[in-house]
């Protein structure tokens, strides 16, 4: 095989699996290889902390493509095989089995990995992180009526695990070092709605708490906090964020800046290599700063743009970020980047549903966070996403007024 006719994608996750599909649909006739270090065929991660933990589905039911897809689309899927080296000069990737693959264009979609805690006992059995199917099955095996589950970190993963564990009848305590939940992601009021819901369902959520160590002999049986108190537990789940998997790119000499740094077309510092999904950072044309996103929609959208650009197009990645989380019967949906806002307008969209709109100092809408029932927030969050994308200037008072039909703001834009 000559380098001239091979597309190689490293990372058989959300982004890699979608990218190979777009490469074929986009007309690539040559070889396509997808290298994934997990044993399973590519699957969706969002159900892992929700339906898989509550026992409603298996990870395999979240397969991104049907089994036959790879054969029918002539995608050479190398599951259980890691890429161990990229030689940019030779345009070749070395695999863990010693094989070398040449590429015409390469996509790095290696995702992110959970941060571990560096406190004593963090490696005891029963202390888990959650990123892949194996992690989810191991945690699911810990859950059951009366089991005491400690969750470290009140971010999205931690709170989703807490909700699932509670639904399985566990006694759940959440420890968060910060003064509130979801510190980087949503306004304080949205975080509070979720925390209230957890408290109503019987979860013990504690803020400003430092975990000093995990204790137990061979297996965790308690958590020692900063004030010296010990909270007994049968298992713990650490959800303290993720780090982009950049080692391979870094060793290959590609630019790194909170992830693999890519240009607006998702090209790395080597013009033959692209990066997309959780692993890359990019300057968003609307926000004009380098950001890195960790969400499903971004992985899907960047896969598409990267693949088309690998085929020779010049598409700029400009999608307004969109994210969701489900906890119990409540959904949270976020469009844009609320953290970049300095003022806000609140709109009641249902009995217990609200959308919080965030504005920057210049008065531009930069984000919207909806919390409540999906049917009561989804439409308004979608309109907010469009208002942000089209840079339509809106009056916060009109957004807050539930009598205003938000769609009308798309037409009657004040520029």
Ligand X SMILES: Cc1cc2nc3c(=O)[nH]c(=O)nc-3n(C[C@H](O)[C@H](O)[C@H](O)COP(=O)(O)OP(=O)(O)OC[C@H]3O[C@@H](n4cnc5c(N)ncnc54)[C@H](O)[C@@H]3O)c2cc1C
Minimum CB distance to ligand X, residue 297 (Å): 6
Tell me whether residue 107 or residue 392 sits nearer to ligand X (CB atom). 107
Using CA atoms in the order 262, 266, 272, 278, what is the torsion angle rounded to 10 degrees? 70
Q: Say if residues 276 and 107 touch (Cβ distance below 8 Å).
A: yes
Q: Say if residues 164 and 325 touch (Cβ distance below 8 Å).
A: no
Minimum CB distance to ligand X, residue 213 (Å): 25
Minimum CB distance to ligand X, residue 102 (Å): 17
DSSP one-letter string for 288-332: -SEE---SHHHHHHHHHHHHHHHTT------PPPEEEEEETTEEE
Helix axis angle, 296-310 to 14-25, nearest 10°: 40
Any residues with CB less than 8 A from the CB of 42 and at least 6 apart, and which?
Answer: 12, 13, 14, 16, 17, 34, 36, 63, 64, 65
Tell me whether residue 54 or residue 225 sits nearer to ligand X (CB atom). 54
Tell me whether residue 149 or residue 394 sits nearer to ligand X (CB atom). 149
Q: For 50, left (φ over 0), alpha (ψ -120 to 50), or beta?
A: alpha
CA distances from 356 to 82, 137, 284 (A): 43, 35, 22
Tell me whether residue 50 or residue 221 sits nearer to ligand X (CB atom). 50
Tell me whether residue 52 or residue 195 sits nearer to ligand X (CB atom). 52
Minimum CB distance to ligand X, residue 157 (Å): 6
Tell me if residue 136 falls in helix, strand or coil. helix
Q: Say if residues 339 and 184 touch (Cβ distance below 8 Å).
A: yes
Tell me whether residue 331 or residue 344 sits nearer to ligand X (CB atom). 331
**H or E, element range at 365:** strand 365-372
Tell me whether residue 52 or residue 399 sits nearer to ligand X (CB atom). 52
Q: Which residues are at the interface with ligand X (CB under 6 A)?
A: 10-16, 35-38, 45-46, 48-49, 82-83, 109-111, 130-131, 157, 245, 248, 277-279, 294-297, 299, 323-325
Minimum CB distance to ligand X, residue 174 (Å): 16
Minimum CB distance to ligand X, residue 203 (Å): 18
Phi, psi of 58 (to 5 degrees): -100, 160
Minimum CB distance to ligand X, residue 70 (Å): 15
Residue nearest to ligand X (CB): 13
């Amino acid at each position: 095989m000559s380098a001239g006719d091979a597309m190689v994608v490293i990372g058989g996750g959300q982004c890699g699996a979608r990218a190979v599909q777009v490469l074929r649909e986009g007309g690539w006739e040559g070889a396509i290889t997808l290298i994934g270090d997990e044993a399973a065929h590519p699957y969706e991660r969002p159900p892992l902390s929700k339906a898989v933990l509550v026992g409603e589905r298996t990870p395999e039911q979240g397969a991104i493509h049907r089994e036959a897809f790879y054969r029918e689309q002539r995608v050479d899927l190398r599951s259980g095989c890691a890429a161990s080296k990229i030689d940019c000069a030779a345009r070749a990737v070395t695999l863990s089995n010693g094989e070398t693959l040449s590429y015409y264009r390469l996509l790095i979609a290696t995702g992110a990995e959970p941060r571990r805690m560096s406190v004593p006992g963090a490696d005891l059995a029963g202390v888990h992180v959650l990123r892949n199917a194996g992690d989810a099955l191991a945690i699911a095996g810990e859950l059951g009526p009366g089991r005491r589950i400690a969750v470290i970190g009140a971010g999205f993963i931690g709170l989703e695990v807490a909700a699932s564990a509670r639904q399985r009848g566990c006694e759940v305590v959440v420890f968060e070092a910060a003064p509130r939940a979801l510190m980087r992601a949503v306004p304080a009021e949205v975080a509070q709605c979720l925390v209230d819901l957890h408290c109503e369902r019987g979860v013990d959520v504690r803020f400003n708490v430092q975990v000093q160590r995990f204790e137990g002999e061979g297996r965790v049986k308690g958590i020692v906090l900063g004030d010296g108190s010990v909270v007994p537990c049968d298992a713990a789940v650490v959800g303290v964020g993720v780090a982009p998997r950049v080692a391979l790119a870094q060793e290959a000499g590609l630019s790194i800046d909170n992830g693999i740094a890519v240009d607006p077309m998702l090209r790395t510092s080597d013009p033959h290599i692209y990066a997309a999904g959780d692993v890359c950072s990019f300057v968003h044309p609307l926000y004009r700063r380098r950001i890195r996103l960790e969400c499903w929609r971004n992985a899907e959208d960047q896969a598409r743009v990267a693949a088309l650009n690998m085929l020779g197009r010049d598409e700029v990645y400009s999608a307004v970020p969109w994210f969701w989380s489900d906890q119990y019967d409540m959904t949270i949906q976020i469009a844009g980047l609320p953290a970049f806002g300095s003022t806000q307008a609140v709109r009641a969209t249902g009995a217990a549903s609200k959308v919080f709109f965030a504005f920057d100092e210049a008065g531009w809408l930069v984000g919207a966070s909806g919390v409540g029932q999906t049917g009561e927030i989804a439409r308004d969050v979608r309109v907010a996403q469009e208002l942000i994308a089209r840079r339509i200037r809106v009056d916060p008072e009109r957004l807050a007024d539930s009598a205003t039909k938000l769609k009308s703001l798309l037409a009657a834009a004040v520029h």
